Each structure stands twice: as C-alpha cells, then as structure tokens.
Amino acid sequence: MEQRQFLLGQKDIPRQWYNIVADLGEAPPPPLHPGTKQPCGPQDLAPIFPMSLIEQEVSAQRYIDIPEEVLDILALWRPTPLYRAIRLEKALGTPAKIFYKYEGTSPVGSHKPNTAVAQAYYNKQAGVKRLATETGAGQWGSALSMACNFFGMECTVYMVKVSYFQKPYRKSLMQTFGATIYPSPSEKTQFGRKILEQSPDSPGSLGIAISEALEDTVTSQNVKYALGSVLNHVMLHQTIIGQEAKKQMEMAGAYPDVVIGCVGGGSNFAGLAFPFLQDKFAGKNVRALAVEPASCASLTKGKYDYDFGDTAMMTPLLKMHSLGSGFIPPGIHAGGLRYHGMAPLVSFLKDRGQVDAVAYEQLPCFDAALTFAHSEGIIPAPESSHAIRAAIDEALKAKAEGKEKTILFNLSGNGMLDLSAYEDYLAGKLQ
Ligand SMILES: *Cc1c(COP(=O)(O)O)cnc(C)c1O
C-alpha cells in the first residue's frame, strides 16, 4: 500500500503567520484614499476595521504571532490533511505525482474560517458587538457566522441574491450559528434600495453586497466590517495552509514543481502559495499558478490599476487586476470566484512575473471535479474544481512530454452544500 496521507498533529499547527511583504524587496503599492488619492493612513480605515487588523494590513514584519485564543479554535480542525492523489494519477495514466491540501475538513467546509476566527477575535478584543459582511456562495458568511458565535458577537450577512436562492442550505447554516441574512441587493440599505429601483431583478454581486455591508457598518454603532478575501491581512491569516503543506511535502519526501490554487479574491491560493514563494525568492524552482473562471477573469483579462473594491465606490482604491467595480459577473456556480478584483498582493506578484494565471470555463472544471470525485471520493466545491482542472492539465502535459513532475494543489473546500450545481451539471443544464 503506497502512502496517501501526510498528517500532522495538533502541536504542528503553525504558531505564526507568514507575511510575504517582508520578502518582496519593495513596498507594494499602497491603498489610496478615494477623495484625496493620497495613500490611506490607519485613521482612514479605523471606522471599518479594528486597529490590530489595520496594523497587520500595513505590516512588513516577516512573522506575526497567532494569538493563543485563535489557535485554540483552529485546533478544532487543524492541521488539515495533505493527500497524494494516487488513484487520480492512475486514472490519468500520468507519471506526475499529484498532491492536494484539503481545506474542506473545517467545520463549514472551506479554508475561510482560518481568517474568520482571527478577524472575529481581534474585533472582540476591540469591544465590537457586531460584524457586518457580504457573502457570495455563502462560504465566507458561514465561516464568519461560526467565528462570531464562538466569540459571542452578532453577525449580519448580505448574501448575493442569486446565491441566496441557489444555495439555501448555506443560509440555514449561517442562521444555525445565529447570524442574520439579507439577500443583496436588499431593502435594508440605501444603496441596496437604489440598485433595486434601477434593476428590480438584479442577481446581485459581491461588489454590491460589500457596499451594503459597509453602509451598515458606518451607519451603526459598535459595528465593524469583515472581508473574507482580497486584503493583506486575509492573505496573511491563510498562510498557515502553506506552512503546514511544506512540512507535509517534506514528510512525503517531495517538493512541488508547481503549486496551484483557484482564485476569487486570492486568499486560498495565497495561503498555499506564499510560503512556497518564500522559497522561490530564496532561489528554489517552484511555479505558482492561479486559476480563475473565464467568465470573471480578473488576473488574465483585467487591467492592473487602481480600482474600488465595491460597487458603490466606498472602499479605498486598491491597485489590483480588476474588471471594473461595476462589473456584474454571470451567475456561474463557483459563486466564491465571482469577484471583479484580485488581491493586491497576488496582483503585484502576477505583474512581477512571479505568479502565473490561467482561466477556465465552467464545464471543463465540472468534468475535472467528476474525474476527481470518481477517483478520490471527495465532491469538490465548484470553486476548487478550477484548481483541479489545472492540476489535471499539468499532469496530462507531463504525460504527453513523458516527464516526471510534482504537482500540489489546494482543495479549498468540499461541495456538499453545492450539490444543486452538480445536479444542474449532470442534467446537462450548464453551459
Ligand atoms: C471563497 C472561496 C474561494 C475563493 O476565494 P479566495 O479568496 O480566492 O480563496 C475558493 N474556494 C472556496 C471553497 C471558497 O469558499
């Protein structure tokens, strides 16, 4: 029996987050104030985030300690397993070795709690009573609802309307943790009402939902905002994934030639890839590949320039690959990838040629998800199926070239609450 599982114990949970900014050799372009177009100071962000998270957002310190209270909760499911996909390798007939880090073992089924728990903790420390946020497919909303529940805080979630109806069980999951959910655009905010007036049938978008959550935040007392991706502190919190994976690859006696993750805002990709990029900056030969949906291809098609993070143009301007803050992506099932922009850090690395990107249509990704499920038994989240598609294509390329190759991808979540997407796929209803 060949070794498939590479498991760590509770003592192996990383004690620090890795901040890639320390190893970039130059400061990445700062966020700009939307009015003055000058770099944002900490005070500009203070109405929406607690100071501890703002400090992490602008930090250039290489390692940042993870608070004990956060580790205590992460230990409910971390370290996550790393597997070698031997049955998938055989099914493809490839000489490549395929490994995957499985983040779907968290209580809500994705990597998102890694940052949700940290963000809830720092807000609790700052005396915040309620967090407001947006969610697409509901993965982020579920993670933050769970985290707020752990720290005794209220949680309000603006859920992109198309997903609210596509994924009703994620809504129930959030409600079980005590959160309040509104389909966005909603009647709850001025901005939501404005959108509904202009287009009553608006499917919503992450950009619109972010605007609603921000409006709720700045018009309420003792409420802060939490974002599940894109920002530097979110990338930071996710780096426990890659730090664990490096130890696990060592246990496997292997090192990846290519590290792959799907990208919506960039956080699960960054979480896995940044600790390997640290090795790359030190001279190691490793390629980082970000995979996005062709229908919302910010990294491969978007412009690298300053843009707003939301539709109402309330956020600071971020230098990122973007399709424009007014872009409403089509209702593909990988709801977590339907964001117009990309993390500034991932964008910066892409611009410097240190991150590669590829875009895939939805159907070949579902084909890959089924190939994966048939051999490894796990139903992947539709978002993660993009990473699987790229991993399979890398493995098939190795086969065609008769070359050995080690591939590592992030299985960012399971698809057990996305079965309606599989139903549509199996019924031939997806284009
Ligand atoms: C949210 C989500 C994504 C996309 O977000 P990133 O910040 O790019 O990681 C990918 N996979 C899953 C399972 C998600 O829930």
Question: Is the minimum distance from the CB of 167 to ligand 1 under 6 angstroms?
Answer: no
Q: Which one is the CATH code of 46-58+112-232: 3.40.640.10, 3.30.70.141, 3.30.70.260, 3.40.50.1100?
A: 3.40.50.1100
DSSP per-residue string spanning 158-220:
EEEHHHHHH-HHHHHHHHHTT-EEEEES-SSSHHHHHHHHH-TT----HHHHHHHHHHHHHTS
Long-range contacts of 392-395 (CB under 8 A, 24+ apart): 392/88, 392/92, 392/368, 394/96, 394/258, 394/260, 394/289, 395/88, 395/89, 395/92, 395/94, 395/96, 395/98
Cβ atoms < 10 Å from Cβ of 221? 6
Over its C-alpha atoms, the chain yields an Rg (Å, rounded) of 20
Alpha-carbon distance of 130 to 126, in angstroms, equals: 11
Spacing, Cα 298 to ligand 1 middle (Å) = 15
Question: Is the minimum distance from the CB of 262 to ligand 1 under 6 angstroms?
Answer: yes
- Under DSSP, the state recorded for 34 is T
User: In the chain, where are the structural domains located?
Assistant: 5-13+67-110+235-426, 46-58+112-232
| DSSP H helix total and E strand total for the chain | 18, 15
Model pLDDT, residue 336: 84
Spacing, Cα 111 to ligand 1 middle (Å) = 7
Spacing, Cα 305 to ligand 1 middle (Å) = 23
Token pair listed for 286: 């490793």
Question: Is the minimum distance from the CB of 103 to ligand 1 under 6 angstroms?
Answer: no
Question: Is the minimum distance from the CB of 265 to ligand 1 under 6 angstroms?
Answer: yes
Alpha-carbon distance of 259 to 273, in angstroms, equals: 6
Identify the residue whose C-alpha is closest to ligand 1 atom 15: 139
Model pLDDT, residue 319: 98
Token pair listed for 299: 């990294």
Cβ atoms < 10 Å from Cβ of 363? 12
Identify the residue whose C-alpha is closest to ligand 1 atom 1: 336
Question: Is the minimum distance from the CB of 142 to ligand 1 under 6 angstroms?
Answer: no
Mean pLDDT by 10 residues, the chain (431 residues): 96 98 97 94 94 97 98 98 98 98 98 98 98 95 98 98 90 97 97 97 93 97 97 98 98 98 98 99 98 96 96 94 90 85 98 98 98 98 98 98 98 96 94 77
CATH architecture, domain defined by 5-13+67-110+235-426 = 3-Layer(aba) Sandwich (3.40)
Alpha-carbon distance of 313 to 325, in angstroms, equals: 8
Model pLDDT, residue 330: 82
Strands of 82-84's sheet in order across? 5-6, 82-84, 97-102, 406-411, 258-262, 287-293, 356-360
Which atom of ligand 1 is closest in space to residue 414's alpha carbon?
Answer: 13
Is 184:158 a contact under the CB 8 Å cutoff? yes
Identify the residue whose C-alpha is closest to ligand 1 atom 14: 336
383, 416, 418, best to mutate for ligand 1 pocket (most atoms within 8 Å of CB):
383
Fold matches, 5-13+67-110+235-426 and 46-58+112-232: yes
Spacing, Cα 36 to ligand 1 middle (Å) = 32
Question: Is the minimum distance from the CB of 412 to ligand 1 under 6 angstroms?
Answer: yes
Identify the residue whose C-alpha is closest to ligand 1 atom 5: 264
Identify the residue whose C-alpha is closest to ligand 1 atom 13: 413
Residues contacting residue 43 through CB under 8 Å, at least 6 positions apart: none
For residue 33, give the 3-state DSSP assignment. Answer: coil
Identify the residue whose C-alpha is closest to ligand 1 atom 4: 264
Spacing, Cα 47 to ligand 1 middle (Å) = 26
Question: Is the minimum distance from the CB of 139 to ligand 1 under 6 angstroms?
Answer: yes
* Range 310-345 burial, b when 16+ CB lie within 10 A, else e: bbbebbbbbbbbbbebebbbebbbbbbbbbbbbbbb
